[in-house]
Amino acid sequence: MIRSGKRQKHFTLKTFLCYYYTNTSNNGVKLKKRFQNPSIKDIAREAGVAISTVSNVINKKGVVASQTEQKVLKALEKINYRPNIIARGLRTRSTKSIGIIVQDIANPFTSHIIKGMEEVARKRGYTLLIACTFYNTEDEKKQVDVFMDQVIDGFIFLGGYDNSPVVRQVYNQGIPVVSVDREIEDTDVPSVLIDNQEAMEKAVDYLYGYGHRKIGFVSFRFEKQTTTRNRYMGYCSGLEKNNLDYDPEVIIIDDYMRLNETGGTFEIIKKFLKKGVLPTAFTTISDVNAFGILKALKAGGIRVPQEVSVIGFDNVFFSNFTEPPLTTIKQPKKMMGKTGMNLLLDLVEKKKVDKKNIKLATSLVERDSVGPPPKK
């Protein structure tokens, strides 16, 4: 309800010029009807030029005589005018805002990506609309519609289930969209990703290099999530590459850790420990899961990395502050956000983009949670 005249309590510089008089049925007397922010009309009147001329000056369009321009500029300076984006949006169908659909804004991985996005969006003059869907595909669909109603300039889908029909639908409507950390099978849709398989393979290689031969994998289920599935694929191909057997006994896949990664993993691994079969090292799909493993291991009196090694994925900030500090695969979070947003805005602004499916490099951060396996 911004700028609703009735709630305006003070005269401000912004408004002092802008009340106007209009006929009402009140005995034909002209009454002060409402306050509002200055509009382009006020500027035009003040400068003594046409509305469209003001518009041209503001948007640096058309040709305006420098003398006229001066007049407008002067009026603009005198009156603290700000164009109404909503009104402009109604005409131009652009509101300088980007909708971001994310699973969980409080997740330390995604929140850093968003931070990167926010940074470039703001720098380029766009505003961020954010909605969280908590892995609810229906909600995601609904939220897309809500954003459509708001008339946004573009979409970013950040992480979560593939849910490509929704992305596709947006894409098909000709709305700029990029998928970040979400692998859509069709590569028409612009994307910013990492090579999840290669990254996880790197982790297995690293563990193998330390002498590990019985390497576990812990994850939630990944039928609907290609990113995660590809990490699993990387785990498998890493095994294969190093001639290691695929051992279902040390592969723990359970959806219980889906929405409560750390706590869920903790429980699952604690239970797993009771079985008495132990890999010499754990791989997992994210740091927040690794934290749960670490804690369960500690609770079970198992030392890391002396008895069991653990390697994470993401390189979340807190990986540096666990005990021991977590060795992990680093995803360039902020860069993913920035790259994704720049790509999207280039699309929005119809700039030439030479690469619309971008893969960013990962790296391995060595800390202290991986060591050689214990000697028998």
Partner DNA sequence: ATGAAAGCGCTAACAA
Partner DNA sequence: TTGTTAGCGCTTTCAT
Tell me how many residues contact a copy of itself (CB under 8 A): 67
Closer residue to DNA in complex, CB, 27/67: 67
- C-alpha dist (Å) from residue 140 to 17, 99, 137: 45, 12, 5
Which range binds DNA by CB under 7 A, 80-88, 103-111, 160-168, 308-316?
Answer: 80-88
Count of helix runs (H) and strand runs (E) in the chain = 12, 14
**Helix or strand run (H / E) with residue 147:** helix 137-149
| Residue 41 engages DNA in binding (rule: CB under 7 A) | yes
Other beta carbons within 10 Å of 363: 13
Number of neighbours of residue 18 by Cβ within 10 angstroms? 17
Q: Is 265 in the site for a copy of itself (CB under 8 A)?
A: no
What angle is formed at CA 112 by the lines to CA 195 and CA 133, rounded to 5 degrees? 85
Q: Among 52, 112, 169, 158, which residue's Cα sits nearest to residue 335?
A: 112
40 touches DNA (CB under 7 A): yes
Q: Does the footprint of a copy of itself cover residue 291 (CB under 8 A)?
A: yes
Question: Other CB atoms closer than 10 Å to residue 323's CB: what's the count?
Answer: 11
Q: How far is the CB of 237 from a copy of itself (least distance, A)?
A: 31
147 binds a copy of itself (CB under 8 A): yes
How far is Cα 214 from Cα 206, in angstroms, rounded to an integer? 13
Indicate which single residue of 45, 55, 89, 141 sits in contact with a copy of itself (rule: CB under 8 A). 89
CB atoms within 10 A of CB 243: 8
Distance CA 155, CA 223 (A): 24
Binding segment toward DNA, per CB under 7 A, in 41-49, 160-168, 201-209, 210-218: 41-49
CA contacts within 13 A on the Cβ side of 304: 28
- 2 or 106, CB closer to DNA? 2
* For DNA, the closer CB: 91 or 274: 91
Does 65 bind DNA (CB under 7 A)? Our answer is yes
User: 373 contacts which partner out of DNA, a copy of itself, none, CB within 5 to 8 A by kind?
Assistant: none
Report if residue 372 touches a copy of itself, rule: CB under 8 A.
Answer: no
Position among 27, 67, 173, 243 found at the interface with DNA (CB under 7 A): 67
120-133 b/e (C-beta count within 10 Å ≥ 16 → b): bbeebebebbbbbb
Q: 3-class DSSP state for residue 253?
A: strand
Q: Is 59 in the site for DNA (CB under 7 A)?
A: yes
Residues that bind DNA (CB under 7 A): 3, 24-25, 36-37, 39-41, 48-53, 55-56, 58-59, 61-65, 67-69, 81-84, 87-88, 90-92
Residues that bind a copy of itself (CB under 8 A): 1-4, 7-10, 12, 82-87, 89-90, 92-95, 97, 104-106, 108, 111-112, 114-115, 118-119, 122, 127-132, 143, 145-154, 172-176, 262, 291, 294-295, 298, 317-318, 320-323, 348
